[in-house]
Structures are given as structure tokens and as C-alpha cells.
A and B are shown apart, each in its own frame.
Chain A
Amino acid sequence: MRKFFENSKQAILITLTMFVLCGFIYPFAVTALAQGLFHHKANGSLIETDGEAVGSELIGQAFTAPEYFWGRVSSVNYNVYMKEDTIPDEKGRVNYSGVSSGTFNYAPSNPELKKRIEADIEKFLLANPSVKRQDIPADLMTASGSGLDPHISVKAAEIQVERIAQASGLSKDEIEKIIEANTEKRSLGIFGESKVNFLMANLDMMKKMEGKEAHQ
């Protein structure tokens, strides 16, 4: 019995010691190191234009205007919303209930998946009449795992050039250059996939368009 109490005492004390070491000292030490070494990244890689944060380099955003690159399907709409989306309707539901992440979790056999993709293809073809159905890469019509994916495939960016050129007044050449500037090749030439960061590309688009307006 004495042994049991001895053991319990040690168990309680070791719990409390580790509580302080692992729960407090460790995360605070890593925070201090991270803030000192990589200040920008440790705070979310935020992008600022004119002193205002407009997004994060690593998190995608929902784009709907025809002059911008559109991203992948997101079940959480990239946590992008309007002020009125947070006000409850008559039934007490809100369109945006707070920051989250995730996907639709549709199984490959789920009929809802087919319905959603078909509807998105129709919508895309309507907005991009020059694009052929078989040229649409699947990444653009499928939902990302996080709902925050900042990337699309290079092909998915290229098939949008025609529409963007018409809506923005920029030449196709200028848009191709923006795609190229924002393309991230496979790491070391082998790892991952080649991809375009469409938020960064859209920020370049905005700057180009503003520059053109100021010129005229």
C-alpha cells in the first residue's frame, strides 16, 4: 500500500512537471525562436498593399469577377464572405458561421459529386465559351481537401486566359507573363506538381490593370 501511494505521488508530480515543460515552456520557446528567425512567415505570410493586409500568400481566396483567375472548388468558400453573410435570416441560419476548413467529403460514388461537378462544368463553359469540355483539367472542377488551396494547375490557369483578356483589356501576352511569373515548378524538379498561385497572379493582374488606367 505504501508503494502505491509512493507511485501515485510520483505520477501526480511528473504530470505537473511535464504540464509546465511541454505545455508552456516548449510552445513559448518555439514561438520566441520562430518570431525571431522568420517573423513574416511566423505571422501567417500576410500580403500587404498600401499598408493594408489583403490576404496570405499561402491561403487561396474565392474570386468571381471575370478579369481574375478562378481557383478550385471550396466547401468553405475560402472563408471569404460579405458582412451581410453573418446576419441570421428569418430561420436563424447564417451563410458564414466562422472560420473553418475542410471539404465536401463526397465519396467517389456519391451522386452529389457528379451533380456538383456537372453544374460547375456548365457554369465554366458558359463563362469561357472558347474552352472545350475535354480541355478542362479536373483540379479546377474538384474540391481541395482544405478548402483553402491557393494553387491551380498550369493548364487550369491557361484555359482562363481568353476570358481574362476580354474582361480586363490586357493582352494575352501580358496575362501569359503573369502566369509564368506566378508558376511554381516542382521542388528540385521532382517533388510535388507544377502549379500557379492564383491569388498572387490576381494581385499582379490588379496592379497591371491599375497601371493601365493611370496611363490612359
Chain B
Amino acid sequence: MWQIAIVLIIYLPIVILTGHYLFRVTMQQKTWLDPIMDRFDAVIYKLSGIKQVDMTGKQYVLSLILSNAFMVFIGYILLRIQAMLFLNPNNIDNMEATLSFNTIISFMTNTNLQHYSGESGLSYLSQMLIIIFMMFTSAATGYAACMAFCRRLVAKTDTIGNFFIDFVRVITRVLMPLSIVVAIILVSQGSPQTLSANQTVQTIEGKVQDIALGPVASLESIKHIGTNGGGFNGANSTTPFENPTVISNIVEMLSMMLLPGACVVAFSLMVAHRKEKTIFGKQGLSIFVAMSVLFLVGLVTVYVAERAGNPIISELGISQELGSMEGKEMRFGVAQSALFTTVTTAFTTGSVNNMHDTLTPLGGLIPMFNMMLNVVFGGKGVGLMNMMMYVLLTIFIACLMIGRTPQFLGKKIEEKEMKLIALCILIHPAIILLFSALAVTTTAGVAGITNPGAHGLSQVLYEFASASANNGSGFEGLADNSTFWNVTTGLAMFFGRYLTIIIQLAIASLLAKKMFHSDSVGTLKTDNTIFTFLLVAIVLMIGALTFLPALALGPITEHLQLYLHSA
């Protein structure tokens, strides 16, 4: 238990520091890296013909979608011809069409759902040119969208910020320096970083063993810092080469928690900026605390459920002192695994250090629920935007109850915005539940299910929750490399990402254009404890109302069966 608490305590100061740095990068304020980075960025702007002009909300979204579209185009072609290119020492074949479609959407949307296995599905060139490249650019895209959103909430105009500038600055000043440092730490713990082919060794029992190598560390660092989550190897961060020690495990967890949390801090500073200098603005703090409460409740549940073990294994008469160890690694044990599971689904990364399909029913329910809510910190940038939808909804509901005009940061929330907010909140559950319904009613969908009983439904729900939340972890037993699963999850990821971002920026544009009203005595306060409490309640209520029936048929049924059976 202590090892979990200590990791969370280390997290707090570094997230605040990073938040301040992120704020400076976003608002183009001075940092100590400027003398070098300004020149570096100038070269990139020149090469790409980028000018420092402010964009309207519409232009911003258009630039975002255009650049993502070109990246998808290049990536898809490369996957289809990888066998013919260089840096392919293990002679990997070209990727099949529907699988390539799924893979490319998956990495461009920051999801990193993988229906292939890295060791046998991708050449080193593809790992670098497609996977690493998209890990940087998809993370930068999400961050740029979030900062455009936040700027519009506090600005008095819709013409502010430039997508390309935001995009470049976050890569060169945040993602790349951090990735290089973390990659070297991971190599120091034992992650390989080499371009030579896999090794075959003679074991001392006279057999042979294949050892998969590759440029693992450089992918591993941006995988976590950009909340991407797609592994170099099939078994992701459970494999000793992707996550060699407890130290690397903690570094990877902190890496994925860093930027989603820092976005909230940066937002808090943007809001507070108008009035005073502070360490952590009050408005952002109330949101941060709400997210933390949801996170901690989930964490404790997973830990207790996994610590209790599997009653069926206890029945077999062996000692389960270490907790439920099926699908877990000995070097992490239950505590480090439970923390990783909660972090990776709350911060919407999707890398795994234990196999989620083998989690106890309640231990598996929490990661699923985290992705269904999609607001417990969430992915880099987009998590904050999702939470802001709930913030606006909470203000609206609270103001209706006490009969005041709903207003946030000086802007009135009116009919048009509320319609878009409601739409935005409904898209995510609609994608998950409708696609799940489709999967369980078609033979092609059912064919993927590999565990019998209630857990089979959990596999389906988890897959679509992960796709729509752009998480990317999976109940990996699901046989998901089929046309049905490749296409449906591809669509779920696509809509979950772009529809949401478009609607959210539209809402921000609407608010940006509104008149600013100073707060009066009658305005609902949105930066105090009562508001935090209300926010958590609304998130849980909406989440529970939408997903409880499905969860009751999946993990909750499995839990009851396990314990009633063994009682």
C-alpha cells in the first residue's frame, strides 16, 4: 500500500512544475530553453511555410483535420509496402488491408488499439516511421486542440492561436526532450535500443530461444509521455524488455500521468492569469480534485479486488498470499499492477503491465468504467476537454435548481451551447453501446469472444469502450484481427476522436464570441468544494445511468457467479 502512496506523492510536485512549463510554452512566454529552441523552431516553420498568424476556431479545426489526414495517408501506404523497404532485418511481411486501416486510425487518434503483434507484424522501419511518428503527432494534436479550447474559454475573441505553431512547439519543447530523457532511463533499466535483428540463443538445456530486440526504448518513452499506449511487443509493458524493473514501471506510470495532469494545471493558470500569480489556480484545482477523487476510488477498488485473489484458485488448495497472479508479472506483484491498471485507463494511455482479461471481475470493472467515463484526467489534452463538458453541464443543472443564469468564466451558457454539450456527452456512450449491441447480435462479432459466460460480454464492452475513449488497452483474449472487429473498432476510434474534438471546439468558439459579464453576488461559484462535489456526483450519475445495465450483465454478474459458486 505504501508503494502506491509514495508514487502518488512524488507525482504532485512534478505535475505542478510541468503545468507551469506547459503554460509558458502555450502562452509563448519566456523559458530557459528559448535561446536554442527558438532557432530550432524557426527552421521548422521555414521548411513548412508556417506563418505566425492567429486562426479562427474553424480554421484551427480545419488545419488539424487536414494535417491528420495527410499523416494517415502516408502511414497507410507505408504499412502496405513495408516488406519492400529497408530496416526490416526480421523479414516482416506487408500488413493486410483492414488491419492496416485499423492500425493507422488507431495510432492517429492516439488510441493505439493493436490488432497485430509487434514482433511479427511490423518492421523496425514501420515501428519508427509510423508508430513513433504518430505517437508524437497524435499527442501533439490532442494537446493543441485542448489549448485552443482553453484559450477560447478565457479570451474575448475567436481569432486566437495557430494550430501549426501549437503543434510544433509542444513537440520540440515538451514531448521530444522528455522522451529522450525517459528513453535513456529505460535503457539504463534494461530496455533494448538497437537496430540489429532478433537473437537466437542456445539454452543450457540444449534447446533454442528466440529473443526479440529492436529500438524499444525510443518507442516506449513517447508511448507513455504522449498517453499513446501501443507496445513494441504483443504483450506491451508486461514484457521484460518494455518494462524491465519496478523503477521503469514507476517511471512509465509517472510519464503517462504527467501531461494530462499538467494540462489541468496549465488551464488553471490561464484562468487565474487575468487576476493574479499563483501556484495552482482555484478553478483548475476544483476540477483536479474532482478527477483525483474518481481516480482514488477506482484505485482502491482494483487493489482490494486483486489482493483478494481468485476464489476458484483458493478452492484448488494452493496459497494465494500474493493475490491474483494470473496474467501478472512477478516483479510487479499486485500493488504495482493495480496502480498501473488504474493509471493507464484513467489517463487513457492503454499500455498494460498485466493482462486485463485476467483481472478479477471487479478489478476489470474499474478500468472499463474509467474509459466509459473518459474524464478521470483522460488522455493528453482531450481528457480536460471532456471534463469541461461535464463542468458546463454541472453549472447548467445547478443553476436551474437554484434559479440563476448559468455562467462560466464570465460567459453565459445558453441553448445553442447546451445542445452541443448534450450531444458531445452522448456520443461516447452511443458508440460503445450501439457497437457492442451490433457485435453480440452478429456471428462475425460473437466469433471474436474467447471466454465463456458473462466475461464474454465484458470482452466486447471493454473493446469498444477502449476504442471510443481512444485508450487502446484490451481484454486481449478477444480474437479481434478479423474484418468485423478491424472495421467496427476503426470507426469507433475515428468518431470518438474527431466528432468530439469538432463539437468541443465549436462550443469554445461560441463561448469565445460572447459578451463578458463580471461575476456578481448572484453568480454560481465554480471554484469551491461544493462545486467539486457536485461535479463528481454528476459524472457518476450520468455514467451510472448510462452504463450500469451493461456492467450488471458483464463484470457484476461474473463477480456474483464466482463468489456464489465458491460459497
Residues from 434 to 484 in B contacting A, C-beta threshold 8 Å? 450-455, 458, 475-477
Asked if A57 is an interface residue, CB under 8 A from chain B, the answer is: yes
Nearest residue in B to A97 (C-beta to C-beta)?
A: B120
Which residues of the partner chain B approach A11 to less than 8 Å between Cβ atoms?
A: 63, 66-67, 69-70
CA distance A24 to B87 in the complex (A): 12
Tell whether A137 pairs with B318 under 8 Å between CB atoms, given A44-B213, A108-B360, A111-B452.
Answer: yes
Q: Quick one: CB contact mask for B112-128 with A, threshold 8 Å, 1 for yes?
A: 00000101100000001
Min CB–CB distance A30 → chain B (angstroms): 4
Q: Which of B231-239, B269-277, B284-292, B401-409 is the contact stretch?
A: B231-239
A40→B62 CA distance, assembly (Å): 47
> Chain B contact residues (Cβ within 8 angstroms of A): what range?
35 or more
Q: Does B29 belong to the interface (CB within 8 Å)? A: no
Q: Which of B187-195, B508-516, B520-528 has 4 or more CB atoms under 8 Å from chain A? A: B187-195
A102 and B317 form a contact (CB under 8 A) = no
Say yes or no: B318 contacts A7, CB within 8 Å.
Answer: no
| Alpha-carbon distance between A166 and B277 when the two chains are bound, in angstroms | 72
Q: A57-B190, A138-B318 are in contact. Are A30 and B218 (CB under 8 A)?
A: yes
B residues 57-75 near A (Cβ < 8 Å) are 59, 62-63, 66-67, 69-71, 74
Instruction: Check: A52 CB closer than 8 A to any chain B CB.
Output: yes
Give the residue name and chain of the A residue nearest to B353 (CB).
A145
In the complex, A142→B314 CA distance in Å? 12
Interface of A is mostly: mixed
| Cα distance, A158 to B454, chains bound together (Å) | 38
* A44:B194 contact, CB within 8 angstroms: yes
| Residue contact B332 to A193, C-beta cutoff 8 Å | yes
CB contact under 8 A between A30 and B451, given known A105-B327, A109-B562, A206-B204: no
Residues of A contacting B212 in the complex (Cβ-Cβ under 8 angstroms): 79, 99, 101
- In the assembled complex, the Cα of A181 lies from the Cα of B44 at a distance in Å of 53
Contact A137 B322 (CB under 8 A): yes
Verify if B387 is at the interface (C-beta below 8 Å from A). no
Chain B positions 162 through 197: 1 when the CB is less than 8 Å from some CB of chain A, otherwise 0: 001001100100001001100110011111111110
Residues of B within 8 A of A22 (CB): 132-133, 135-137, 171, 176
On whether the beta carbons of B451 and A142 are closer than 8 Å, the reply is no
- B129 at interface by CB-CB < 8 Å: yes
Q: Is the CB of A187 within 8 A of B198?
A: no
Among residues 23 to 64 in chain B, which have CB atoms less than 8 Å away from a CB atom of chain A?
Answer: 44, 47-50, 59, 62-63
Is B3 a contact of A192 with CB atoms below 8 Å?
A: yes
Q: Are B70 and A105 in contact (CB under 8 A)?
A: no
Measured between C-beta atoms, what is the minimum distance from B137 to chain A in Å?
Answer: 6
A1-44 near B? 1/0 per residue, CB < 8 Å: 00110011111111111110111101101110111011001111
Q: A7-B62, A110-B455, A193-B331 are in contact. Are A43 and B213 (CB under 8 A)?
A: yes
Judge whether A31 and B193 touch: CB under 8 Å. yes
On whether the beta carbons of B180 and A190 are closer than 8 Å, the reply is no
**Cα distance A24–B215 in the bound complex, in angstroms:** 12
B518 interface residue per 8 A CB criterion:
no
Indicate whether B325 reaches chain A with its CB closer than 8 angstroms: yes
Interface 1/0 per residue, B84-128 and A, CB below 8 Å: 000000000000000000000000000000000101100000001
Q: How far is the CA of A81 from the CA of B209 in the complex (A)?
A: 6
Q: Is the beta-carbon distance between A105 and B453 smaller than 8 angstroms?
A: no
Are the CB atoms of B202 and A109 closer together than 8 Å? no
Residues of A within 8 A of B164 (CB): 10, 14
In the complex, the answer to whether A34 meets B67 with C-beta atoms within 8 Å is no
Contact yes or no, A15 B71, CB < 8 A: yes
Per the 8 Å Cβ criterion, residues 321-338 of B in contact with A are 321-322, 324-333, 336
A139 interface residue, CB < 8 Å from B? Answer: yes
Complex interface residues of chain A between 55 and 87 (CB less than 8 A to chain B) = 55-65, 68, 72, 78-83
Partner of A192, one of B194, B199, B246: B246
Residues of A within 8 A of B63 (CB): 7, 10-11
Determine the chain A residues whose CB is within 8 A of the CB of B218 once the complex forms.
26-27, 30-31
Give the chain A neighbours of B241 by CB distance below 8 A: 44, 58-59
Contact A35 B193 (CB under 8 A): yes
Contacts of B546 in A (CB 8 A): none
Instruction: Determine if A114 and B312 form an interchain contact, defined as CB atoms under 8 angstroms apart.
Output: yes
* B96 nearest CB across to chain A (Å): 17
Contacting residues, chain A, for B208 (C-beta < 8 A): 80-83
Chain B residue at minimal CB-CB distance from A29: B180
A118 interface contact, C-beta 8 A: yes
Taking the complex as formed, is B558 at the interface, i.e. its CB lies under 8 A from any CB of chain A?
A: yes
A interface footprint on B128-153 (CB within 8 Å = 1, 0 otherwise): 11101101110000000000000000
CA distance A195 to B329 in the complex (A): 11
Alpha-carbon distance A191/B171, docked complex (angstroms): 32
Q: How far is the CB of A46 from chain B (nearest CB, A)?
A: 7
Known: A44-B194, A105-B355. 19 other contacts (CB 8 A): A10-B67, A26-B218, A41-B190, A46-B199, A56-B240, A65-B205, A78-B209, A83-B208, A107-B358, A113-B326, A117-B313, A137-B319, A138-B318, A145-B238, A145-B329, A149-B240, A149-B329, A153-B322, A192-B333
Give me 9 A-to-B residue pairs in the complex whose CB atoms sit less than 8 angstroms apart, sorted by A's number. Answer: A13-B49, A30-B180, A30-B184, A41-B189, A117-B316, A137-B318, A145-B354, A146-B240, A193-B333
Chain B residues proximal to chain A, CB less than 8 Å = 2-3, 6, 44, 47-50, 59, 62-63, 66-67, 69-71, 74, 117, 119-120, 128-130, 132-133, 135-137, 164, 167-168, 171, 176, 179-180, 183-184, 187-196, 198-199, 201-205, 207-213, 215, 217-219, 233-235, 238-241, 244-247, 249-250, 309-310, 312-313, 316-322, 324-333, 336, 352-355, 357-361, 450-455, 458, 475-477, 558, 561-562
Closest 5 pairs between A and B when the two form their complex, measured CB to CB? A105-B477, A145-B238, A192-B246, A101-B235, A34-B193
